[in-house]
Structure 1
Amino acid sequence: MTLSKGLENVYVAETSISSIVDDTLKYVGYGIDDLVKNNVSFEEVIYLLWHLRLPNKDELANFQLEIKEHMAVSETIITSLRMQHHQKLHPMSVLRTTVSMLGVFDTESELDDGESIYKKGLRLQAKMPTIVAAFSRIRRGLDPIPPRDDLGVAANFLYMLTGEEADPLSVEAMNKALVLHADHEFNASTFTARVCVATLSDVYSGVTAAIGALKGPLHGGANERVFDMLEEIDRASSNVKDYIQYKIDQKQKIMGFGHRVYQNGDPRAKHLKAMSHLLTKETEEAKWYTLSCQIEESVWELKHLRPNVDFYSASVYHALGIDVDLFTLVFFCKPCFWMARAYF
């Protein structure tokens, strides 16, 4: 008997949603590089993953309206977020509990026909950025800000986070980060959701289970650990190469490097690296980009590993004003409906 690590070489289903061939990531046949270079919006990518095709102009406009219609959350959810903040829970635990609570108040939560599942997925997708932004403000002693009807998902998230309309570069960076994280085959959280809903459990249970899997530092929590490393090196004014060598000697993981699927580097990393360069320069925090580049060079020299999507997303999110322990929550603003496709 041969045992595989994780799901390596284990085939559990066929999917046309995303694929990785020769180190190229594609969403429904569209290369991630082309989607990013053509500035495809996050809403278009959500539509692509759900409908298996890009929308035309009218379809996109209607879809954007549907998302905006469901972005606001009830005062009950805001009150719950305030109570959870006082319990000093990990932010991912707060998200997990809040998503589960959304199911409690959804009168269609137990309906399992295709239309009802789609509507639940739409509501979840729309509310996820609002929940993250609201919790961020609550724990800083600020009141949550409702979404605006004239802003897209990326711009709305940054607006609800800061109370100010973000500049075009920040919106572009947020949009690209969301697009790059939108889907990645059967990763741990997606597989967890798939197993859950395959029992004909409800969508909210599937997404809640997925959040639990994503919480772990070996999955979504990796970018938090990346910025912890950046801060540790910066505080100690450490020699980067010596720091990485010490990590290797101690057999400690260097977060944000290597990937089980990609042999020649994560194709998403270069796009976030470019945005990190531009953003940190604009926010006068170029030291984080410079330090990241030094780490990348040292890890390649000493370990021959390339950065993955988590590595440069850390400095991007920081430059956008997102707290470190909220990085993983932003990761989960990915399309959540398609994870329940075991229903079909």
Structure 2
Amino acid sequence: MPGIDDVIAAETVLSDVDGANGRLIVRGLPVEELARNGTAESVAHLLFEGFFPDLPDERGLARAIGTARRHAFQRLEPHLPAIAALSPVEALRAGLSFIPDGDDLYTALMLSGAAAVLTPAIIRFNGGQQAIAPDPKIGQSADMIRMTSGAPASQAEERALNAYLATVSEHGLNASTFAARIAASTKAGLGSAVIAGLSALKGPLHGGAPGPVLDMLHEIGEASRAEAWLIQALARGDRLMGFGHRIYKVRDPRADALKSAVKALARAGGAPNRLTLAEAVEQAALDILHKTKPNRPLETNVEFYTAVLLDALGFPADSFTSIFATARIIGWIAHAREQEMNGRLIRPQSRYVGPVPKQAA
């Protein structure tokens, strides 16, 4: 089918996705390093650098992001009862629309802060609990866990969520990022670009797959059942969620980065049983896929260990796409600013293949 695969639509300083060799570089740093050492705040500074003239140093930006969470919560709290009736990702999209649609650093921080407070608030509303106001003095990952569970995050939990947010913050010109850049090319504003990106991410072919991974793990239940369950699923023609990627022809490097984060969390006492099951299912699936589909590159992708990690941190499956968006928003904003600075409207051509008027006799 006609498409734009392999068409270069932008030049960017933000990331290099090497699908042939299974590498992801974000502003000169391998994704594995970001996962080990990065935080939501440090990666925001990395991605925003050069795009905002008033960007403070990393410590100052961390304080500003904390303040933005508080301001965003104050703006959004009156609207929470109305948007809580929506699904978490739709509530996030509705909530972001209340943020003024500027192009400056304040807008960027408010969008990031709004996402971080909205998802925990909606989770609590759906559980019959009141939203918890953010604490601007702690990191974004720790605060998201605290606002969701009502209890302080452990160091291991904070490190695990930071690893996730850092790992998935930026990934080249994927569908949602391209949508964000298209909106930004019209000078619509950062809020419009972010909502465009979120609307694309919402689709199950892009950011909606971690939840089904968790469904698969729950259905399998025990490591001893993995092989038989997976064989039956393939015999039905089902897709094994968490395996295969449009770009990566080898293993998705983000999968190993997140697997390491899950292992570190398990060593600290979090979710050892989940990790044991996940590793057994992963190995069984890879063995079966290599035997039954030897000509297709179906390796573990980022969604598999995303599901394991977010579940271990206590986030419900229907919130996974919203948490993904909370991480990716900083990438969308950086791409939007890069596109705006380029100043070029994205306007590709199409080839008409419909009917033509009949020639007059």
TM range (shorter): 0.7 to 0.9
1:330 is matched with 323
Contact 2:34 2:167 in 1 (8 A): no
Structure 2 residue 336 is the aligned partner of structure 1 residue 340: yes
One of 105, 111, 119 as aligned partner of 1:132: 119
Alignment of 1:126-275 (within 5 A): 126-234=113-221, 239-275=225-261
Q: 5+ residue gaps in structure 1?
A: none
Question: What displacement does 1:286 show?
Answer: 2.8
Match of 2:25 in 1: 26
Preserved CA contact (<8 Å) 2:145 2:153:
yes
Is 1:299–1:306's contact at 8 Å kept on the other side of the alignment? no
Q: Deviations over 1:270-314 (max 9, x none)?
A: 121122234346556433222211221122111133211110111
Shift of the alpha carbon at 1:248?
1.9
| TM-score normalised by length of structure 2 | 0.83
After superposition, the Cα gap between the structure-2 partners of 1:83 and 1:238, relative to the gap in structure 1 and judged at 3 Å, is farther
Contact 2:83 2:95 in 1 (8 A): no
Q: What is the distance in 1 between the residues matched to 2:11 and 2:335?
A: 13
Q: Is the aligned partner of 1:119 residue 2:117? A: no
Aligned partners of 1:122 and 1:266: how far apart in 2?
30
* Identity fraction in percent: 30
Give a deviation string over 1:113-148, Cα, whole Å, max 9, x none.
Answer: xxx433211211122111111111122122211222
Note if 1:277 corresponds to 2:263: yes
Cα distance in 2 for residues equivalent to 1:140 and 1:311 = 26
SS at match of 2:17: strand
SS at structure 2 position matched to 1:20: strand
5+ long unaligned stretches in structure 2:
291-297, 342-361
Structure 1 range deviating more: 128-137 or 275-284:
275-284
Q: Could you give the per-residue CA deviations for residues 83-107 of structure 1, whole angstroms, max 9, x where no partner exists? A: 222x3x22111111111122xxx3x
Q: Secondary structure at the match of 1:147?
A: coil
Distance 1:284 1:153 in 2: 20
* Contact persistence 1:36–1:176 (CA under 8 A): yes
Distance change >3 Å, CA 149–CA 34, structure 1 → 2? same
State the TM-score, normalized to the length of structure 1. Answer: 0.87
Aligned residue in 2 for 1:83: 82
Equivalent in 291, 297, 309 of residue 316 of structure 1 = 309
- Checking the alignment, whether the CA contact within 8 Å between 2:112 and 2:326 is kept in structure 1 is yes
Question: Which secondary structure does the structure 1 equivalent of 2:12 belong to?
Answer: coil
CA distance in 2: counterparts of 1:48 and 1:291, whole angstroms: 35
Query: Aligned pair count?
Result: 323
**Contact preservation (8 Å) 2:69, 2:136:** no
Larger Rg: 2
Q: Give how far 1:172 is off.
A: 0.5
Q: Corresponding residue for 2:66?
A: 68
**Contact 1:196–1:205, Cα closer than 8 Å, also in 2:** yes
Could you tell me how far apart the structure 2 residues matched to 1:239 and 1:74 are? 45
Q: Partners of 1:283 and 1:203 in 2: how far apart?
A: 40
Aligned-pair distance for 1:261? Answer: 1.6
- How many angstroms apart in 2 are the aligned matches of 1:285 and 1:13? 41
2:270 and 2:312 in contact (8 A); partners too: no
Residue 263 of structure 1 deviates from its aligned partner by 1.9
Indicate the RMSD between aligned Cα atoms, in angstroms: 2.1
